[in-house]
C-alpha cells in the first residue's frame, strides 16, 4: 500500500480523532498534491465527529471555531494548522452559488460525493490508505479533470466549479474530460450568479498557471462572457492577449490580460471584477504607459518618469518586451537602461526632487501659491530639458531673476 508523507501533526490529529472513536482522513487538495508528488500548502481533515466533538477532543491544542455552521473548526498544533470538517452533504442549491443548508452525515463516501472533481474527492489515512470511490487516482495519473457525478448538475449547483476546473487545468496542466468540458461550454452563463470577488480570485490564479494560453484560447467564450472587454477584441488580438498572459511574469499577468483593451477597458473591467483600487490603478497606469510613443533619449525618459514614475514605467517596458510582434526591443532595452540609470543617480524628474522648494520661493518674496506651483514646474522643466542643473545655488539665483516671477 502506498503511504504518503503526511506531516506528523496531521497524523497526530487523525490518530487523536480515531482514538476517540471517530473516523478521520486527510482529504481534498492535500491528498491530490501528495499523489502528484507536490507538497501541499494547507491540510484539510474530514471526520464524522461533529464540530463540538472535534473541539472537545483537542482540548490541549488551539481550536478556532472557524465555521461551525458549515462544520469546520481549525486546529493549531504549534505553527501547523489544519481545517477539520465534519462529513456533510450539501442540501439543495437554488442559486448556483451556495447550498441552502448543509447536513452532517456519518459516511465518508457521501462527503466525497459532494466534492467538485474526482482528483479532489480522495481521502487518506495511514491505516486505511486511499479512499478513492470515483477514480480520482486514475484521473490524476492521466491528468484529467472530471466532475464527480453529472457535470451539468454539479455546475448548476455551484457555477464557481466551472472556473475552478479551468483554473486547475491551467495550473496543473491537466486536460478536462469531454463530458466536463461540454458542460462548461453550455453552462458558463451560470457564472453570472457568482460574486465578482470569487471570480477574480480564481481568475488571478488561472492566469498564473503554466497552461494559461491553452485554457484562455480553448475556453474563449467563457472569458469573453466574464470580461466583455475581451469579447470586443479581434480574434487575432484575443489570441495575442492569451500569448502575452502566458509570457509575462506573475506581477504582469493582469496587465497582460488587458494589454489590448486599453486603460479605459482595463479600468471598467477591473471595477466590475471588484479589484482593489491599488491593483486597478497600477494596471491602468502600466497600460496607459504602453500607449505612449516611447523613445530612449534621456529627456524623453525623464518626461515619461515625470508622468508615470519609475515602477509603472519599468513594468510597461517589461510588458512590451514580451510583445514580440510589435516592440522595438533594442529601443526598449536601452530605455530600460536609461531609466535605471536615472533612478540610481537620483536624477531629478519630479518637483519633490528639486533642490529648491516652496519655502525658498516664499523667502524670495513670492507668496501667490499658484505662481509658486507654476515656477516650480518651470524650473523642473528646465532641468528635464537639461538647460539648468538641479543645483541649489543656481536655482536660487534663477529665482531671484525677475522674469521668472511672471
Ligand atoms: P487549492 O487549495 O490548491 O486551491 P483545493 O482543492 O485544496 O485546491 P480548496 O478551495 O482549498 O481547493 O478546497 C478544498 C476541497 O474542498 C477541494 O479539494 C474540494 O474537495 C472541495 N471543494 C472546494 N470548493 C468546492 C466547490 N466549489 N464544490 C465542491 N467541492 C469543493
Ligand atoms: Mg486547499
Cα 219 to averaged position of ligand 1 atoms, centre (Å): 21
**d(Cα 261, Cα 258) in Å, to the nearest integer?**
5
Beta-carbon contacts of 113 under 8 Å, excluding residues fewer than 6 positions away, are 89, 121, 133, 134, 148, 149
- Bridge-based pairing of strands 102-104 and 123-125 is unpaired
44 lines ligand 1 (CB under 6 A): yes
> What is the tens place of the pLDDT at every residue in 109-163?
999 999 999 999 999 999 999 999 999 999 999 999 999 999 999 999 999 999 9
> What is the tens place of the pLDDT at every residue in 195-217?
999 999 999 999 999 999 999 99
Of 128, 141, 107, 212, residue with least CA distance to 170 = 212
> What is the tens place of the pLDDT at every residue in 214-251?
999 999 999 999 999 999 999 999 999 999 999 999 99
Cα 153 to averaged position of ligand 1 atoms, centre (Å): 18
71 lines ligand 1 (CB under 6 A): no
Of all protein residues, the one whose alpha carbon is nearest to atom 22 of ligand 1 is: 115
Q: Indicate whether 69 pLDDT > 90.
A: no
Q: Report the predicted TM-score, pTM, of the whole model to 2 decimal places.
A: 0.93
Alpha helices in 273-348 (DSSP H): 277-290, 298-308, 310-321, 329-344
**d(Cα 248, Cα 245) in Å, to the nearest integer?**
6
Kindly state the helix (H) or strand (E) to which residue 351 belongs, with its residue range: none
Q: Indicate whether 252 pLDDT > 80.
A: yes
Amino acid at each position: 500500500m502506498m503511504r504518503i508523507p503526511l506531516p506528523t501533526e496531521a497524523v497526530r490529529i487523525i490518530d487523536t480523532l480515531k482514538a476517540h472513536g471517530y473516523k478521520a482522513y486527510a482529504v481534498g487538495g492535500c491528498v491530490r498534491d501528495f499523489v502528484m508528488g507536490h507538497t501541499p500548502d494547507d491540510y484539510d481533515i474530514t471526520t464524522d465527529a461533529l464540530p463540538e466533538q472535534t473541539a472537545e477532543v483537542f482540548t490541549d491544542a488551539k481550536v478556532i471555531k472557524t465555521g461551525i455552521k458549515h462544520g469546520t473548526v481549525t486546529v493549531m498544533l504549534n505553527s501547523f494548522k489544519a481545517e477539520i470538517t465534519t462529513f456533510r452533504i450539501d442540501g439543495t442549491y437554488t442559486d448556483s452559488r451556495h447550498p441552502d443548508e448543509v447536513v452532517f452525515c456519518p459516511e465518508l463516501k457521501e462527503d466525497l460525493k459532494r466534492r467538485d472533481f474526482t482528483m479532489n474527492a480522495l481521502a487518506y489515512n495511514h491505516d486505511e490508505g486511499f479512499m478513492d470511490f470515483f477514480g480520482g487516482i486514475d484521473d490524476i495519473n492521466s491528468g484529467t479533470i472530471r466532475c464527480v457525478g453529472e457535470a451539468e448538475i454539479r455546475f448548476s449547483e455551484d457555477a464557481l466549479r466551472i472556473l475552478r476546473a479551468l483554473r486547475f487545468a491551467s495550473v496543473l496542466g491537466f486536460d478536462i474530460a469531454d463530458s466536463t468540458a461540454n458542460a462548461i461550454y453550455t453552462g458558463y452563463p451560470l457564472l453570472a450568479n457568482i460574486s465578482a470577488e470569487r471570480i477574480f480570485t480564481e481568475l488571478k490564479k488561472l492566469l498564473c498557471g503554466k497552461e494559461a494560453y491553452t485554457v484562455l484560447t480553448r475556453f474563449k467564450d467563457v472569458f469573453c462572457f466574464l470580461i466583455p472587454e475581451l469579447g470586443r477584441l479581434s480574434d487575432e488580438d484575443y489570441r495575442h492577449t492569451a500569448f502575452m498572459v502566458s509570457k509575462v511574469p506573475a506581477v504582469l499577468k493582469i496587465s497582460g490580460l488587458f494589454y489590448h483593451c486599453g486603460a479605459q477597458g482595463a479600468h471598467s473591467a477591473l471595477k466590475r471584477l471588484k479589484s482593489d483600487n491599488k491593483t486597478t490603478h497600477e494596471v491602468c497606469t502600466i497600460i496607459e504607459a504602453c500607449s505612449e510613443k516611447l523613445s530612449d533619449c534621456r529627456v524623453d525618459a525623464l518626461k515619461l518618469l515625470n508622468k508615470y514614475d519609475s515602477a509603472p514605467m519599468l513594468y510597461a517596458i517589461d510588458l512590451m518586451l514580451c510583445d514580440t510582434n510589435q516592440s522595438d526591443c533594442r529601443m526598449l532595452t536601452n530605455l530600460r537602461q536609461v531609466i535605471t540609470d536615472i533612478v540610481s543617480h537620483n536624477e531629478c524628474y519630479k518637483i519633490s526632487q528639486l533642490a529648491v522648494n516652496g519655502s525658498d520661493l516664499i523667502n524670495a518674496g513670492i507668496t501667490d501659491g499658484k505662481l509658486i506651483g507654476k515656477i516650480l514646474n518651470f524650473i523642473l522643466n528646465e532641468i528635464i530639458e537639461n538647460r539648468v542643473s538641479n543645483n541649489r545655488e543656481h536655482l536660487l539665483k534663477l529665482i531671484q531673476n525677475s522674469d521668472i516671477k511672471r
